[in-house]
């Protein structure tokens, strides 16, 4: 039986550390056999959401989030890390201007890629890479705006 995309993403994350499943099992505080039973759903065992999230953090990967987003009809785009010290003196308008420039480049690439009425796999991959970059840049502008101008003592209050 073919694993679901979410289960396959979890397996990929678990295999990714040097040492594979054994290393991931140790990070999760379980035996390799226990992890494999959950990964391959032996006798109804499964990796829980909390364990998948922990594995994602421990392996510094986003396979699980991307699979959940895809299963939900979306695309996962991580928010870039922002070092507050490095941002001192930078203007949010400069970041927004950069995002708009990237959007313009995306439009040019889209127009060129679709001009012949056909989109090849490499062209599609390039467009998606540019889309993710633009979205990530725009989200970082919003996050930076919140960080500098927002008054959100409780993260739940954010829009």
pLDDT in tens, 43-79: 999 999 999 999 999 999 999 999 999 999 988 888 7
Average pLDDT, the chain: 88
- The residue out of 21, 50, 71 marking a domain boundary is 71
What is the number of domains present in the chain? Answer: 2
| CB-CB neighbours of 47 under 10 Å | 22
* Statement to judge: residues 12 and 55 lie in one domain: yes
Q: Are 59 and 13 in contact (CB under 8 A)?
A: yes
Q: Is residue 79 part of a domain?
A: no
What CA–CA distances, in Å, run from 137 to 6, 12, 72, 146?
Answer: 26, 27, 23, 14
Q: Are 105 and 130 in contact (CB under 8 A)?
A: yes
- pLDDT, tens only, 100-136: 999 999 999 999 999 999 999 999 999 998 998 898 8
Q: How much is the pTM?
A: 0.69
Rounded CA separation 117/113 (Å):
8
- Counting residues of the chain whose pLDDT is more than 90, the rounded percentage is 65
* Statement to judge: residues 66 and 88 lie in one domain: no
Parent domain of 123? 84-157
For residue 81, give the DSSP letter. P
> For position 157, what pLDDT does the model report?
54
Higher pLDDT, 116 or 91: 116
């Amino acid at each position: 039986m073919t694993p679901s995309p979410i289960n396959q993403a979890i397996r990929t994350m678990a295999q990714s550390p040097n040492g594979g499943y054994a290393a991931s099992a140790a990070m999760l505080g379980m035996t390799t056999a226990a992890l494999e039973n959950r990964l391959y759903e032996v006798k109804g065992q499964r990796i829980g959401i909390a364990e998948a999230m922990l594995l994602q953090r421990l392996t510094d990967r986003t396979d699980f989030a991307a699979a959940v987003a895809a299963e939900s009809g979306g695309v996962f785009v991580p928010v870039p890390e922002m070092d507050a010290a490095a941002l001192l003196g930078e203007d949010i308008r400069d970041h927004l201007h950069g995002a708009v420039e990237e959007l313009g480049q995306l439009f040019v690439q889209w127009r060129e890629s679709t001009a012949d009425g056909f989109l090849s796999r490499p062209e599609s991959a390039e467009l998606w890479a540019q889309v993710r970059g633009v979205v990530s840049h725009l989200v970082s502008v919003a996050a930076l705006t919140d960080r500098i101008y927002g008054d959100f003592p409780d993260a739940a209050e954010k829009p």
